[in-house]
C-alpha cells in the first residue's frame, strides 16, 4: 500500500511538472517532448488503478503514433513565439483572476469533502487472472455499441474533412502511375526507332554563320 501511494505521488508529480513545462517552453519541440512525458506518467497512473489496457493504449497510440506525427508537424512549422508571448503577457492578469476563481471553486467542490474516502469506499482489486481487455471489449460491443458506432462515424468525418481542406490538385505535380508502368509491353512501348539520315561533318565557319546546326540536311 505504502509503495503504491509513493508511486502515485511520484507519477502525479512528474505529470504535473511535465504539463507545466509543456506550456512554458520556448521551443515547441521541447514542449512536445514534455507532452510525451506527461502521457507516459499518466499511463503509469492508469496502470495503478488497474486500467492496464487503457494505460498501454495511451502509450502505444498517443506516444507512439500521435505525438510522433505531431513532432513532425511542429518541426515543419515556423511558429513565431515572440508574437504569441506578447499576447500572452497582455491577457495574463485577466487570465490569472479567472484561473484563481476557478481553482478556488473547484477545490471547494471537488475536494475531499465531496469525494473523500469516507464517501467513496476504496474499490476492491481484481484477481490476477482478470482480463481487462476482454471486459472492456465486452462493454464496448454491447452496452456502449451505439456510442461506439457514432465514434466510428466521427472518425470517418474527420478523414473527409481533413482531405477536403488540404487536398489540392496541382497541375504541375510530377508523379508515376504504376498501373501504366505495368501495362507497358515489350517492343513497341519501350523502344521507339527513329529513321534519320546520317550526320555530315559541317565546315566550322558555316556552322557559326547559321547560328547552330538545326537546319542542316
Q: Which of 94, 117, 122, 142 binds other proteins (CB under 8 A)?
A: 142
Interaction between residue 147 and other proteins (CB under 8 A): yes
- At a CB cut-off of 8 Å and minimum separation 6, what does 50 contact? 125, 126, 132
Q: Give the integer Cα–Cα distance in Å for 18 and 37.
A: 6
Q: Is residue 145 a contact residue for other proteins (CB under 8 A)?
A: yes
Interface positions, 148-167, toward other proteins (CB under 8 A): 150-151, 153-154, 156-158, 160-161, 163-165
The verdict on 114 binding other proteins (CB under 8 A) reads yes
Binding of other proteins by 130 (CB under 8 A): no
Positions 31 through 90 that interact with other proteins (CB under 8 A): none
144: cell is 456502449
The residue among 157 and 208 lying less far from other proteins, judged by its C-beta, is 157
C-alpha cell at 179: 498501373
CA distances from 120 to 9, 109, 117, 141 (A): 20, 15, 5, 29
Sign of torsion, CA 117 121 127 130?
A: negative
Query: Does 141 participate in binding other proteins (rule CB under 8 A)?
Result: yes
For residue 60, the 8-state DSSP code is I
Binding site for other proteins (CB under 8 A): 105-106, 108-110, 114-115, 141-147, 150-151, 153-154, 156-158, 160-161, 163-165, 168
Amino acid at each position: 500500500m505504502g509503495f503504491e501511494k509513493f508511486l502515485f505521488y511520484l507519477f502525479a508529480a512528474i505529470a504535473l511538472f511535465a504539463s507545466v513545462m509543456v506550456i512554458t517552453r520556448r521551443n515547441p519541440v521541447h514542449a512536445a517532448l514534455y507532452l510525451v512525458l506527461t502521457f507516459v506518467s499518466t499511463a503509469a497512473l492508469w496502470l495503478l488503478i488497474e486500467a492496464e489496457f487503457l494505460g498501454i493504449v495511451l502509450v502505444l497510440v498517443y506516444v507512439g503514433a500521435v505525438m510522433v506525427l505531431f513532432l513532425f508537424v511542429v518541426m515543419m512549422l515556423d511558429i513565431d513565439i515572440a508574437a504569441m508571448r506578447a499576447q500572452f503577457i497582455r491577457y495574463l492578469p485577466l487570465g490569472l483572476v479567472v484561473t484563481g476563481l476557478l481553482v478556488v471553486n473547484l477545490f471547494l467542490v471537488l475536494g475531499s469533502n465531496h469525494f473523500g474516502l469516507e464517501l467513496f469506499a476504496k474499490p476492491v482489486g481484481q484477481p490476477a487472472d482478470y482480463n481487462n481487455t476482454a471486459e472492456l471489449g465486452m462493454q464496448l460491443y454491447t452496452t456502449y455499441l451505439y456510442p461506439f458506432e457514432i465514434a466510428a462515424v466521427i472518425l470517418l468525418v474527420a478523414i473527409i474533412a481533413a482531405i477536403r481542406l488540404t487536398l489540392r490538385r496541382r497541375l504541375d505535380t510530377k508523379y508515376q502511375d504504376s498501373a501504366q508502368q505495368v501495362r507497358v509491353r515489350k517492343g513497341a512501348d519501350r523502344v521507339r526507332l527513329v529513321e534519320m539520315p546520317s550526320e555530315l561533318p559541317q565546315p566550322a565557319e558555316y556552322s557559326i554563320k547559321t547560328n547552330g546546326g538545326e537546319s542542316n540536311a
